[in-house]
Amino acid sequence: MLKKWRKKRWFKMLSNKYVLATIVFVVWISFLDRNSFLLHRELNKQIEALEQGKTNYQSDLEQNKRELEELESDPEKLEKFAREQYWMHKEGEEVFLIETEEE
């Protein structure tokens, strides 16, 4: 049976020491090395997720800057914001919090 395989062209090609070395090298670099292709693919996915998070945070930052400028420029908006967000009240006033049940 081994004699039949030795006559085949693909067996001769695969038994060549240079071809074997190249195959081993490709497998090693692709899967076994610490800088493997699979690790690079996983790290690229993480980079994309982090860049998406960065753009989200930048847009949130811009929105917060606009809101801060509005609050600093208009005292009525600042008072409304303080009352709604921090339940602040003037002296002599009472604040009632009404909780609604959401489905």
The pLDDT tens digits for 33-59 are: 777 888 889 999 999 999 999 999 999
Coil, strand or helix: which one is 89? coil
Query: Across residues 57-71, what is the average pLDDT?
Result: 95
Q: How far is CA 57 from CA 49, 64, 81, 98, in A?
A: 12, 10, 22, 32
Residue 22 corresponds to which tokens in the numbers above?
A: 């190249």
- Asked if the model's pLDDT at residue 103 lies above 70, the reply is no
Rounded to a whole number of angstroms, the distance between the first and last alpha carbons of the chain is 73
Query: Across residues 84-103, what is the average pLDDT?
Result: 83
Query: Across residues 14-24, what is the average pLDDT?
Result: 84
At 57 the pLDDT is: 97
Q: What is the mean pLDDT of the chain?
A: 86
Sequence ranges of the domains in the chain: 1-33, 35-91
At 86 the pLDDT is: 86
Cα–Cα distance between 18 and 24 in angstroms, integer?
Answer: 10
